[in-house]
A and B are shown apart, each in its own frame.
Chain A
Amino acid sequence: MSQRDPDNGWTTVIRPKGHWFDLRLRELWTYRDLVALLVRRDFVAQYKQTILGPLWHVVQPLLTTVTFTIVFGRIARIPTDTLPPFLFYLSGTVIWGYFSNSFTKTSNTFVANANVFGKVYFPRLAVPVSTLGSSLIGFFIQFAIFIGFLVWFMSRGAPVDPNLWVLATPLLLLLMAGLGMGGGIILSSLTTRYRDLTNVVAFGVSLLMYMTPVVYPLSTVPEAYRMIVLANPMTPIVEAFRFAYLGVGTVTAAHLTYTAIFTVALLVCGVLIFNRIERTFMDTV
């Protein structure tokens, strides 16, 4: 290297376009206090001036579960393997809730934060990352309810069988966080250009739920459709979660490996696109 690098000695160099792989993840780390504060902000601000406050985290999955139990269990009579329908739907709702929350909220990153992004710089990834954190708090509240019902059902002799797979819970959460954020930030980046995609999110998530064994077990899916449901990376997560806590579920190591690869790929793509868009986003809002 005979030529002197003109950027040498400067802390910040601003150019039209960064390299695709100039992700500045180290910078995100120096802003970890911000991430923590944003998590807190999300969680606290969400419930100011509401009557029920954080109780919403309890009400929402319970009502959903009751509805599912009536509609799919009693009326449509979808079999739930050997499991009590209420526990079956509650487990599905709770685990799906974390993914759908993470995905929906991160997909809104740019539009919802246009105000702040327009005034001050900080690594924009801090926002979706903190969203995962605040959704996780909500998940733990719902998870605690699920465990409560699980214990209650077990004490009454329901045929459920929690096993060592519960140790994989953190891994399942990590995969879901990755999927939710990866998909969410790709969508949020695209919506800065193509506004109509915002409409896709809400109904896309609910359609995706029906492609995931949330209201039915994978074992009841006819062979012809099974590949479609299995192509959905959320399927192994939901099935693994049910298998771990209830003892019934259809999941293999291969399925989970597929999900893991899918997640990493989605997340990498997402972060690359997000960083690309972030630099000129303010001009297109």
Chain B
Amino acid sequence: MSKVIQVEDLSKFYRLGVLGGRSLRSDVHDWLDRVRGRPDRWSHRGGGRKRGDHIWALRDVSFEVDEGEIVGIVGSNGGGKSTLLKILSRITAPTAGVARLKGRVGSLLEVGTGFHPELTGRENIFLNGAILGMTRQETQRKYDVIVEFSGVEEHMDTPVKRYSSGMRVRLAFAVAAHLEPEILLVDEVLAVGDVAFQKRCIGKMGDVARGGRTVLFVSHDMSAISALCERVILLDEGRIVADGDADATIEAYIAGMKETGPEFGEVRITPAGHDDGLPIALHAVRTMDAAGRVRGDFRSAESIVVEFDFTRFERADYLRIGFDLVSPRGMVVFRTFHNDLSETLIGEPTGDLERLQAVIPAGLLNGGVYQIRPCARRHRHGGPWILRDLPGPSVNVILTVPNPDYATSSRAGLVAPMIQWRSG
């Protein structure tokens, strides 16, 4: 077997929070330091993972992958999975280390890779093919297979902006998979499609690997990972903590998740704020019932109030405060921001303690322990993260259906919304 991916001591270092990376002043400082021969203050390799407002998204990651392998990559959010794929697909450069790849790399990192909303499906297939490095003739040759696989034949002349997200991901996967890359990188994208399509994609990835090509597959869906992969790499806080047989690694992952017990009710967050250059200091996050009592256990028929205590140093229209609700198996169930519906909730920064509440409606969540992970980012689309994946409080939800005859601790699905049925 010949090696097609070789990763040596790959590390990636992010700064959090400083707009646009840095200011002219700190650049001049760094430059002066270097000129005077002082050690670069960022190249320090020891110490913990977090240093002030910077974070090692990957630390000294090394592994090799043989031709024809399908390797699953698992780990909790912020473990470094996506960063790894982004480096391998050359979207961003590593801070240290080296990765070597043999052959063409096709990647599918998010829904609708490079689709242009105003162009039709047909035009976008060619555009995507070209983005992935295919020539026009190659795309032309594959065109019919791609369209057939995607299952959206009848919409080929419709602008992609009218597609559903499911249709987009089908089309994107169809293009990426039929490019016949030697290495296929797939991040958590298939969660969007329907189950039948997911199965088809997983089947296709299996075919790709049997055809002698290599697949790296990031997912939170352990059943998909264990169905597809013989080898799994587990990343935690940027390091490889397990690499080997799929079932053993998945077990280690699930066991590791339980190790750090969840906190319920209220979580106090060590204020990181103005001094660190962050425009917001988050002090506490708590979950309450409708009457305002702090609680950790909820029936699914109750609404859950999530309350944030924070101080702001910057105007509200530059800031979005929110959280991810993470399922018992580590998937993000949803993400919400304070200004999703109203832009005027918070005004000028006062420097005083402020509060925001989000209400998770009753009759939505499934049974199980969900975690709230506060985050904040700049206002614009794709604005940088200021806070991300903070460990907030967990809520233990007990599934309650109105008719006790059908009581069960949880149902299939990430959520268990109470859906209105009616007779036709």
Give A residues with C-beta under 8 Å from B.
Answer: 6-7, 9-17, 30-31, 33-34, 37-38, 40-41, 44-45, 48-49, 114-122, 192-195, 279-285
Q: Does B319 contact A (CB under 8 A)?
A: no
A-B contacts besides A16-B96, A45-B119, A115-B382, 16 pairs, CB < 8 Å: A10-B6, A11-B104, A12-B101, A14-B93, A14-B101, A16-B95, A41-B119, A114-B382, A119-B109, A119-B114, A120-B91, A120-B107, A121-B107, A193-B22, A195-B20, A279-B93
A10 touches B93 (CB 8 A): no
Q: Does B110 contact A (CB under 8 A)?
A: yes
How many angstroms from the CA of A172 to the CA of B14 in the assembled complex?
44
Q: How far is the CB of B341 from chain A (nearest CB, A)?
A: 24
B132 touches A120 (CB 8 A): yes
- What 10 A-B pairs have minimum CB-CB distances, sorted nearest first? A284-B21, A34-B130, A279-B93, A121-B90, A10-B100, A14-B99, A45-B118, A12-B101, A282-B92, A116-B114
B116 touches A121 (CB 8 A): no
Q: Which B residues touch A114, using CB under 8 A?
A: 382
A12 touches B20 (CB 8 A): no
How many angstroms from the CA of A10 to the CA of B2 in the assembled complex?
11
**Contact A193/B20 with A11-B102, A14-B98, A16-B93 known, Cβ cut-off 8 Å:** yes
Name the residue among B87, B90, B135 with the largest chain A CB count within 10 angstroms. Answer: B90
**Contact A34/B95 with A121-B90, A121-B107, A192-B20 known, Cβ cut-off 8 Å:** no
A193 touches B21 (CB 8 A): yes
Q: How far is the CB of B177 from chain A (nearest CB, A)?
A: 14
B92 touches A279 (CB 8 A): yes
Q: Does B417 contact A (CB under 8 A)?
A: no
Q: Which A residues touch B86, using CB under 8 A?
A: 282
Q: Does B419 contact A (CB under 8 A)?
A: no
Q: Which B residues touch A30, using CB under 8 A?
A: 133
How many angstroms from the CA of A195 to the CA of B116 in the assembled complex?
25
Q: Which B residues touch A38, using CB under 8 A?
A: 127
How many angstroms from the CA of A6 to the CA of B27 in the assembled complex?
34
How many angstroms from the CA of A213 to the CA of B283 in the assembled complex?
59
Interface residues of B toward A: which range? 35 or more
Contact of A34 among B94, B131, B383 (CB under 8 A): B131
Chain A, residue nearest B94 (CB): A16
Q: Does B113 contact A (CB under 8 A)?
A: yes
How many angstroms from the CA of A45 to the CA of B123 in the assembled complex?
11
A31 touches B91 (CB 8 A): no
Subset of 21 A-B contacts with CB under 8 Å: A9-B102, A13-B101, A15-B93, A17-B93, A33-B130, A37-B127, A37-B130, A44-B118, A49-B118, A115-B381, A115-B382, A119-B91, A120-B107, A120-B114, A121-B91, A121-B105, A122-B132, A122-B133, A194-B24, A279-B92, A283-B92
Q: Which B residues touch A284, using CB under 8 A?
A: 20-22, 384
A14 touches B116 (CB 8 A): no
How many angstroms from the CA of A281 to the CA of B131 in the assembled complex?
18
